[in-house]
Amino acid sequence: MTSNPTGNSSGNPSGTVHLPPTADTIYQHIRDLPIVSPHGHCDPAWFAENSAFRDPAELLIIPDHYVFRMLYSQGVPLQDLGIGVDPDIRDPRRIFQIFAQHWDRFLGTPSRQWLEHTFTHVFQISEPLTAQTADYYYDLIDAQLKTPQFRPRALFERFGLELLATTDAALDTLSHHQKIRASGWQGRIIPTFRPDTVLNPAAPDFAAHIRQLGELTGEDTASFASYLNALRQRRAFFKSEGATATDHAITTIHTCDVPDTEMATLLRQALQGPLSHADATRFYGRMLIEMAQMSVDDGLVMQIHGGSSRSTNAALYQRFGNDMGADIPIAVDWVNGLSALLNRVGNDPALSLILFTLDETTYSRELAPMAGHWPALRLGPPWWFHDSLNGIARYFDTVVETAGYWNLAGFNDDTRALLSIPARHDLWRRGAALHLGGQISRGLFGLSDALDIARLLARDLAVDAYRLKDL
Amino acid sequence: MTSNPTGNSSGNPSGTVHLPPTADTIYQHIRDLPIVSPHGHCDPAWFAENSAFRDPAELLIIPDHYVFRMLYSQGVPLQDLGIGVDPDIRDPRRIFQIFAQHWDRFLGTPSRQWLEHTFTHVFQISEPLTAQTADYYYDLIDAQLKTPQFRPRALFERFGLELLATTDAALDTLSHHQKIRASGWQGRIIPTFRPDTVLNPAAPDFAAHIRQLGELTGEDTASFASYLNALRQRRAFFKSEGATATDHAITTIHTCDVPDTEMATLLRQALQGPLSHADATRFYGRMLIEMAQMSVDDGLVMQIHGGSSRSTNAALYQRFGNDMGADIPIAVDWVNGLSALLNRVGNDPALSLILFTLDETTYSRELAPMAGHWPALRLGPPWWFHDSLNGIARYFDTVVETAGYWNLAGFNDDTRALLSIPARHDLWRRGAALHLGGQISRGLFGLSDALDIARLLARDLAVDAYRLKDL
Amino acid sequence: MTSNPTGNSSGNPSGTVHLPPTADTIYQHIRDLPIVSPHGHCDPAWFAENSAFRDPAELLIIPDHYVFRMLYSQGVPLQDLGIGVDPDIRDPRRIFQIFAQHWDRFLGTPSRQWLEHTFTHVFQISEPLTAQTADYYYDLIDAQLKTPQFRPRALFERFGLELLATTDAALDTLSHHQKIRASGWQGRIIPTFRPDTVLNPAAPDFAAHIRQLGELTGEDTASFASYLNALRQRRAFFKSEGATATDHAITTIHTCDVPDTEMATLLRQALQGPLSHADATRFYGRMLIEMAQMSVDDGLVMQIHGGSSRSTNAALYQRFGNDMGADIPIAVDWVNGLSALLNRVGNDPALSLILFTLDETTYSRELAPMAGHWPALRLGPPWWFHDSLNGIARYFDTVVETAGYWNLAGFNDDTRALLSIPARHDLWRRGAALHLGGQISRGLFGLSDALDIARLLARDLAVDAYRLKDL
């Protein structure tokens, strides 16, 4: 159980990217900065309960669609990985064994880098993972999970987390967040307002959600004006519980001005039954503008994650639900899609509107020029599949020349895998250092500027973009 | 006639990419592996007849649209290159002279690299090609073509070809393939089933082809069920002649479920006259799903080459026909386009469905995430214009992090230029070695893993993806 | 006021990219070649009047939308930069101070590189620019602007400009150009025919422009045939004043054949009131073909700048007009969009048709294959946001393998910032040298070929593509 940071011929157990000297100098300047995690999907219940994680499979494999999608693509049935299986009848050791047998399938992927980093730095394992060492790994990890040092709050502290934002449905009671604060524990964990299901008439059970929104707020949500008030109430509630931001997942970016009278009619119709695709799109397009305007009013940062076609595998969706690895990016038109919204609020420098794309072609073609113009806009870091060494390199390559560094929003880990948080931030910091080292070697600026920018990228831009100024 | 592998100031006659030490170590590990060529457009008649190639122009220039399109773009009329000219009245020496005069126009292109490799390694010429050495080249090549060592079968053996797949129309009798096997020669040359003209109602002479399909199979192809049976018969025939795969060239990817009754009606209408664009698209969209289902049933690998707008130059098409260098890529939407097909067969790990794109933006946005999810999917190598040193680098850069290596289908040369086959595989192997050397230098994995992956990329993934297991 | 080319830790005041040895050898071969600037937006009045520039802010900041868009994106109001403010009540020193305070915002952008190059090489300032040195800079620059050596004609000569093309509206009298020539000054400044406003019925005041066109030419522009004659007259006039090219800015590329009778009808309607979007698109689509045909007839080079969505910020547009930094690129379909035009004139090698894109995905997918086929086509250099070190690298990476070097049009600076011209050409020459050095190191060709290509890229391709043969 000793660390072996030099790696060996079977792989690179430390999961770290090699850096040339100048990049390493920059990296050393930022490697130990506290971690700010302003967007992600960790479960607040972990920190409210502070219970031990059940077993290595439940911690590392079953909830991580990055991991199990690759195994599924290689012919492993999801149920063999315990997905859709009652936790009490799963065989976690067997699941870990299957994972280990396919470990080579992850060569070249960030999932492998993150997991190697986790094995090395969190669990202090120096042996390479193979089918033969799978049980050794399982036992080592399982034993550590049973210790107090591996409870969620202890990990939060050990990871140097300054702040962690979760993502919470608009109708959530935020009871876990309340419990965390009531406990007296000092870890700063804040909610994020995610209202997709009460804004998008095409979302499942939209009508039921609108009624529930009415019950929660005491507003008659069948009336458009009261529906807006109900949303304002929920935003205020989230803000009172610590939220600084909202988050919106939108497949096809579309915003449009729609008159109030038409909105009132569409709302009434949506409460009665499904709207046509065109009507649902119009309603949602106006509501996104409304959310942007509310952000201007209440100061909550607005995040838009655009262009992921969710759950494209119908059979898997029917059997296992969402987040089964079948969310696939599609091409996005940010320029026309956001035009109505930006022309309403984009000139306001007090607003912070952060965009995330899975269509990398939009970095240089649309997003960098837009972020380099609109005062409200900031460009989120490489997202999802592109949160990777090459993805980070492409991002800097195509974004910085047009948007500069100050129109970026720093880094998000965007993960539901708690243990991967340090690994992901470390990869970003190394990727940023590599980029900045390259800028120096090309003569674009000197080390002093590079160190300033490194600190911005590692922490300060996120603090600023997410209005976390009191950190 | 000696080789000069060090190159000189007038160019790089050896046509080979320089490799840094680690990449070279990897390359040496795979450089002499046998060549598996599972997709291409060589003429099976060459190997059935085993006649000498007529002359250098007919071998190297006239059939190679990579070469003559560049000369055409620079103002050389196609007829000056012997295209559309009766072979008996062509002046091949003059054609070769024109080509040599424009040799600098190919600087920086893979065509130049492949041809330099061919001149050096196949014809053992060490002089740089210039207008002055054109006759020298012509005479040297012409003399060698007249020797037995330059007959097609001898070249096949000399190139270390383990297998070569041709591409054959669905209505082909495969008589050349039969003749090759009947000859007792051991070279393994197999057909590929290419049914575009009997599936796509928008293809020229669709009705005639359907009738011919009926005659060949004894099925009444005016009936939808019998039409499907006729296709099954042809597939079985190709399989019996050694085929392991089908191939589909599709401009705009579109698949859709269409009821049998509607298909029967559309088929009847298509036999009477052209369908509307919308109807033809629906019919073809359903037939692609049908092909995929037949692949599940009969085990033939399914290849889809998507997004090439064929013969965009109407005047050239009318005068010279297809394949005149005017096929231009367009943007592709794989996610929505393949949705119906994948939701029918994509979860079956026994199916091998290989996708090829000319829209590189889909590597990281669509194809890698899809290949990293659907068990049936594999991602074909960089195709056509992107089968090049930079194209290969971009492919690895944008594909591997999300799809890994095991969801790739290895390499295809996809060529109708027999002599370029070793050059193309050599460039791929060098490109793969460069990529893997980079992965090692960044610390992603060690040499041992890199050598394993190199072998996969050079040969074994192609064997697996194309079901060539008995090789 | 001494130069300090080595840079220091606060930045890189010389604004130059570091080159490894081989690239530097190539760069030295071309660094002092005269500058050919065949496309740009300098004001011919500068050279006609040859007056001193008013002050540093008016020279460097107020007209440069690259610069002020970045400041605006960071929350600086445009009016604080003197935009939309009467020149007589502006405070140029205060504007320069604001700019200097935000100088770090430009780190990593080509604007910073160009300005550093200008400060170092044109104004001979070696101190880093900071809020503290802003006044020092202002005074130094202001003092120099008052000297004869900084008048426009002196700068033109000092910069080694062999030719400078301006861009001039179709209805322009070209009086400044006439005055320049009448002055006896030998600097070669030529106009470019930019007819968007008399071709596109969706352009503001289209009807008024058509009437003005009639008045200028004595043609009855309400008749389609006479309207075409009027355009021919204007082209001939521009040609007689030295023009060798036309220029077209088109948001969505669309060309189509429309019968003369329909065109006549549409023209009459357009003179009465706005056409529908569809009708305007058809009219414009035909007129672009007509322009191409006129280029075949009169020999003027045709430039198409495609895919910029102009003035996307309505509030800024209403207050300040065009060119306020809110022009954002959109995705472009060159293949279908240009099909009708290319099928009319594309096979003519005497025509020079130069395409510019802001959608870099079209480099390898569409433009390089098209330029590598159609005799008339040449590919313009990286444009606007992509005229940058990384943009140049991506251009060479994705274009050359398919199009070669001879189908490129060399470099354009495309600037309205006179002082940035040497900086932009220098950056291009360094970027080309970096690319060519890389080609040598990979073994693609030797130094001799690289030096030849360098000269083509730096000057000769532009001369050829723009028909400047008498230079």
pLDDT tens for each residue of A318-336: 999 999 999 999 999 999 9
- Dihedral class, residue C69 (left if φ above 0, else alpha if ψ from -120 to 50, else beta): alpha
pLDDT at A399 over 90: yes
Judge: C372–B325 Cβ closer than 8 Å, yes or no: yes
Q: Find the CB nearest A407 among C73, C326, C329.
A: C73
Q: Which residues from A are below 8 Å from B398, CB to CB?
A: 390, 394
Judge: C313–A448 Cβ closer than 8 Å, yes or no: no
Q: Which of B255, B373, B408, B441 to mutate against chain A (most A CBs within 10 Å)?
A: B373
Helix (H) or strand (E) holding B329: strand B328-329
Q: CA of C78 to nearest chain B CA: how many angstroms apart? A: 36
Contact B355, B379 (CB under 8 A): yes
Q: Which of A107, A112, A398 to mutate against chain B (most B CBs within 10 Å)?
A: A107
Which two structure tokens, joined as six digits, stand for B403?
């799809």
* Percent of residues, chain A, with pLDDT higher than 70: 97
Please list the pLDDT of chain B residue by residue as tens digits (471 residues): 333 333 334 444 566 889 999 999 999 999 999 999 999 999 999 999 999 999 999 999 999 999 999 999 999 999 999 999 999 999 999 999 999 999 999 999 999 999 999 999 999 999 999 999 999 999 999 999 999 999 999 999 999 999 999 999 999 999 999 999 999 999 999 999 999 999 999 999 999 999 999 999 999 999 999 999 999 999 999 999 999 999 999 999 999 999 999 999 999 999 999 999 999 999 999 999 999 999 999 999 999 999 999 999 999 999 999 999 999 999 999 999 999 999 999 999 999 999 999 999 999 999 999 999 999 999 999 999 999 999 999 999 999 999 999 999 999 999 999 999 999 999 999 999 999 999 999 999 999 999 999 999 999 999 999 999 877
Question: Which chain A residue's Cα is nearest to B447?
Answer: A9
Judge: A107–B404 Cβ closer than 8 Å, yes or no: yes
CA pair distance C423, C433, nearest whole angstrom: 15
CA pair distance A95, A87, nearest whole angstrom: 12
**How many beta-carbon pairs below 8 A join chains B and C?**
133
pLDDT at A17 over 90: no
pLDDT at C8 over 90: no
CA pair distance C226, C220, nearest whole angstrom: 6
* Percent of residues, chain C, with pLDDT higher than 70: 97
Grade residue A68 by pLDDT with cuts at 50, 70 and 90: very high
| pTM of this prediction exceeds 0.95 | yes
pLDDT at C3 over 60: no
Q: Which residues from B are below 8 Å from C368, CB to CB?
A: 385
Grade residue C16 by pLDDT with cuts at 50, 70 and 90: confident
Judge: A104–B371 Cβ closer than 8 Å, yes or no: no
Chains that touch C (3 or more CB pairs under 8 A): A, B
Listed residue (B218, B207, B169, B10) closest to B100, CA to CA: B10
Question: Which chain B residue's Cα is nearest to A383?
Answer: B365
Contact A334, C307 (CB under 8 A): no
Q: Which residues from C are below 8 Å from A406, CB to CB?
A: 74, 104-105
Judge: C373–B325 Cβ closer than 8 Å, yes or no: yes
* Residue labelled with tokens 């990049």: A23
> What does the pLDDT average to over A68-81?
98
Q: CA of B329 to nearest chain C CA: how many angstroms apart? A: 6
What chain B holds in terms of domains, given with CATH numbers, is 52-150 (1.10.2020.10), 152-465 (3.20.20.140)
Establish how many alpha carbons lie within 13 A of residue B409's alpha carbon, considering only the half-sphere containing its beta carbon. 30
Which two structure tokens, joined as six digits, stand for C244?
């060798």
Q: Which residues from B are below 8 Å from A314, CB to CB?
A: 343
Burial class of residue A81, CB neighbours in 10 A (0-12, 13-18, 19+): buried
Judge: B72–C447 Cβ closer than 8 Å, yes or no: no
Q: CA of A323 to nearest chain B CA: how many angstroms apart? A: 12
Contact C64, C112 (CB under 8 A): no
What pLDDT, on a 0 to 100 scale, did the predictor assign at position C15? 67
Span between the terminal Cα atoms of chain C, in Å = 36
Q: Which residues from C are below 8 Å from B21, CB to CB?
A: none
> What does the pLDDT average to over C97-122?
97
Q: CA of C449 to nearest chain B CA: how many angstroms apart? A: 6
Q: Which of A71, A74, A385, A434 to mutate against chain B (most B CBs within 10 Å)?
A: A385
Contact A337, A255 (CB under 8 A): yes
Q: Which of C18, C83, C116, C312 to mutate against chain A (most A CBs within 10 Å)?
A: C312
Pick the residue with more confidence: A471 or C249?
Answer: C249
Judge: C17–A442 Cβ closer than 8 Å, yes or no: yes
Largest CA distance in chain C: 68
What pLDDT, on a 0 to 100 scale, did the predictor assign at position B15? 67
Judge: B364–A315 Cβ closer than 8 Å, yes or no: no
CA distances to A108, A110, A117, C268, C446 from B444, rounded to whole Å, are 6, 9, 11, 67, 33
Chains that touch A (3 or more CB pairs under 8 A): B, C
CA distances to A44, A205, C64 from A322, rounded to whole Å, are 20, 15, 49
Listed residue (B336, B390, B304) closest to B110, CA to CA: B390
* Residue labelled with tokens 């850069």: B397
Judge: B365–A331 Cβ closer than 8 Å, yes or no: yes
Q: Which of B364, B405, B436, B447 to mutate against chain A (most A CBs within 10 Å)?
A: B364
* DSSP collapsed to 3 states, C260-290: HHHHHHHHHHHHHCCCCHHHHHHHHHHHHHH
Judge: B109–C343 Cβ closer than 8 Å, yes or no: no
Contact B180, B48 (CB under 8 A): yes
Alpha helix segments (H runs only) across B300-405: 314-320, 334-337, 339-345, 361-362, 368-371, 389-403
Amino acid identity, position A298: D
Q: List phi, psi (to 5°) of B390.
A: -70, -35
Q: Find the CB nearest B369 among A106, A328, A361.
A: A328
What's the pLDDT tens digit per position in A142-175? 999 999 999 999 999 999 999 999 999 999 999 9
